Structures are given as C-alpha cells and as structure tokens.
Amino acid sequence: MDFWFGDTLQYYASHDKKIARGVAEKGQIVDLRNGAVRILEGIGSVAGPITNVFSNDAKLASSIYNSSFVPAVKSVFPDLTVQQVAKLDDMGFSAGGSTMVIAKNGAISLVAFIPSDSFLVPKLSQYEAHLEGSSSDSMKDQLSKCAQFTRDLRMNSVDMTQSSNQATASSCDALEADARAPVVGRLSADSLSAAKGRSKTRRMRTMGLVSSSKNLGDFDPAVVLLLQRDLHIMISGSHIQQLSTQLAVTSVSCSMPDPLLSSSSVTCSLGGSNLNLLTTGRLIDKLDSTVFVDSNGLQTSKDDPTHAQVTFPGCPLANAKKLSDTYLVELSVSTGAPRLNPSEQSFKTPTVPSLTCTRGANVQCTLTDFNLPTGATLSLIDKDGKSHSLGAGPFTAPAAEIPKGSYSASIHTSDDKTIQFCSPVAVP
C-alpha cells in the first residue's frame, strides 16, 4: 500500500500492520501509565520485606498498599494496549496477512499506517507554515469551518433538511475534492530541516520542561483537512487478485419423461461451479440448429452453486422431426454470450398419447398409448373456451353437440386430477 500527495508523484510506502503492532507493544513498555504502575509495584515489592523489621502497623500499611492501592490505580488507569493491538489486527492492511473479498461494486475499509516522525508530522508542519504565512486567511477560514461542520455532522447536530446546511456541505465537498496541485511542495532535505522546529511541542504534563514530537491532535483541524485533501492511498501490485466468478459446467445429464403429456418436462441436472449465475437454457439439435427448445424453469441455490437443474417443456420435443438426433445444452448468464456445453444428450423416443375422434350419429373418441384410469371423463374445449363433455369411456356424445373443428382435450379422473395432451384433437 503506497501513498502520495496531489500530483507531486512522490510515493511513500505505508508500514505493515506488523510494524505498527510492534510500535504498540514497545509503547506498552515506555508508556507513562505503565511506567508509573511498575514503579508503584516495585515500591510495594521492596516495602513488603522491609516492614518485617518495623511494627505491625507498618506491615498492615504495606499489605493495604499492595492489595488495594496498586490494583485501584490499575483499574482507574487501564492498559489498553491489548485492545489496540486487536484493532490493528482487525482493520490494518497487511500484505498477505489476511484475505478480504470485496463484492463487485462494493467497498471495505482498511487502515494504512503512515510513518509519523519521518513523514506525517513534517508534512503537516509544511501545511501549517503555508497557512500561517499566507497573505489571505480565506482558505484557512474555509477549512476551519468545514472541519467544524464535519464534527457537528458526525455528532448528528446538523439539520441537513435546511438549505443553508446543504449549501455548506456542497461547498466543503467541493473544497476537499479540489483537484488542483498541492499547495506545498514535495518533502526534501530543506523542507524537513525547516519543519523540524515545528514538529516538537511542550506539554503540560511535563510542565513544559520536556519537548516531545507532535501528533495529529496537536495541529489545527484546517491543517489536517488540507492534508487530507491532497493525500492519496493506493493498493496495487500482487496484493489485488480478481476472484473467478465465471460459470463453469462440468457435467450435464438430461432425462425425457415417458409418457409425454402437456405437463411433462425434460429435466437436465448440471454440475460445476458458480451455477447460481445461470439465467436461461436451451436444448439445440446438434445437426440442425433450427430445432431447439427454450427452458421454462431453473433451480439454483446460492448456498450450493455447484448444482443446478434446468427444465424444458416436453411437448415441443414430441413434435420435433429429429428427436432421434443428439442435442446440446446451451446455457446463458446475465452478461456475456451464451455457452454451448459439448456434452451430447440422447433421448429415447417417448410414448405420446393421442386421441382419435370419428363422427357418425355420435362423435366417438378413442385414446391410444395411455392407460386410462377407471371412471375418467373427457372434455373437448374449442377455440372460444367452450367445453363439451363426452362422459366416461367410451367417450361419446351426440354429433349435433360437437361441431367440426380442432379441440384441446382434458381428461378428468375420479381423484380430481386433470390430464392434458400435447397435440390438439381433430373432430371431423
């Protein structure tokens, strides 16, 4: 992970979180809180044996000191190093230290560790010197107002329904997103030397006797906001890899139902990877691509993208002239061209039940290639949707009641099931 400022093209490498974690662990040793606690514990350790030569009151005082006072100090001023190191592990960037998957058009948050003494503080000092030496305070005033507005916005103390606040937000966004050249130059030996005096401060906890390096909180918010505007973070190289989300079909197995009715479906079971990306399918005659059937059903699962099932209506295949040919399965996804799977599918010619009707004094219809349930009745439906009942088998009705024409047929069984056939019935 690299970072640079504006268009200076001066790149710097961020520190790995392992280095930052080491800084935190070292800080646990030199921290004022931990140093004070160790001194108190050392006093208790030395005072305990010494009190044996004094009175019982001295022994009691030593016991109270070690068992009550020192633990109370630790409780009032806790050591947060462990929690800080845990946060570094959770959010810090590390090359190869962890794997994060980012969804398409998605985003995740990462923390980049910028070296403070050698880069961040000198750079902030440059911005601070620029703003203080500027003849016009307009930029500093604008940045200060935007920094305060940002803090108020995070505290939910800004009513964004007011037009004035919306205008302030727009102007701050435009100021922070300004793509002009950075207002300060690149770091150099001269700029580091000039910023050295600005990188130190005297703190109240040392009564101003000892100077220490500044941190981010020691600078004016306008200075930090100006640096934030010019700062760019870049992740590149071997740290980024695109995960394969392409559809891959490794096996196809299709079955034809027998007998073939109007409700029958040809089922193709698929195996592979990322099958949840499927949208549609098509059965295509290998020798004649003008013969094909589009899918009417698709079953996939996000939990198990290695299996899927595509269904095709059976009746169009019953009317196909070349059912004895082999077929190929064409699969489509939401983007990209359809893919033809090379696995050939052969079907055994199914039994296709049919009705044959004759006209005399009565119209009589005979069903072939199908075992008719006992008590079933036949209905012929014309193009206008009018139903003509022929009663239980043999299926007959007076000729005057059923005009000549083409009908769709439905058989109703005694258990309330309806059977429909692929081909229409012609009544002479």
Tell me the pTM: 0.44
Structure tokens at 43: 């006093």
* Three-state secondary structure call for residue 355: strand
Structure tokens at 303: 């939990």
Where are the domain boundaries for CATH 2.60.40 in the chain? Answer: 248-340, 354-427
| Predicted pLDDT of residue 91 | 61
Q: What is the DSSP string of 295-353?
A: --EEE--SS-TTEEEEEEESHHHHT-TTTTS-EEEEEEESSS--EE----B--PPPP--
Tens-level pLDDT at each residue, the chain (428 residues): 555 555 455 556 665 666 666 766 677 777 788 888 888 888 888 887 877 777 777 878 888 888 888 889 888 888 877 777 776 666 665 555 556 666 667 776 667 776 666 666 777 777 777 777 654 456 667 777 887 888 788 788 888 888 888 888 888 777 655 545 555 666 666 666 665 556 667 766 666 666 676 776 777 777 777 777 777 666 655 556 666 567 788 899 998 888 888 888 899 999 988 888 888 999 988 888 888 899 998 988 777 888 999 999 988 887 666 677 889 999 988 777 788 888 888 888 888 888 888 888 888 888 888 887 777 888 888 888 888 888 776 788 888 888 888 888 888 887 788 888 888 888 88
The architecture in CATH of the region 248-340 reads Sandwich (2.60)
**What is the sign, positive or negative, of the torsion defined by CA atoms of 265, 270, 275, 281?**
negative
> Rounded CA gap, 409 and 411, in Å?
7
Question: Ramachandran region of residue 190, left (φ > 0), alpha (ψ -120 to 50) or beta?
Answer: alpha
| Predicted pLDDT of residue 311 | 93
| Predicted pLDDT of residue 267 | 92
The architecture in CATH of the region 354-427 reads Sandwich (2.60)
| Predicted pLDDT of residue 312 | 92
- What is the number of alpha carbons within 13 Å of residue 118 lying toward its C-beta? 7
Amino acid present at 357: C
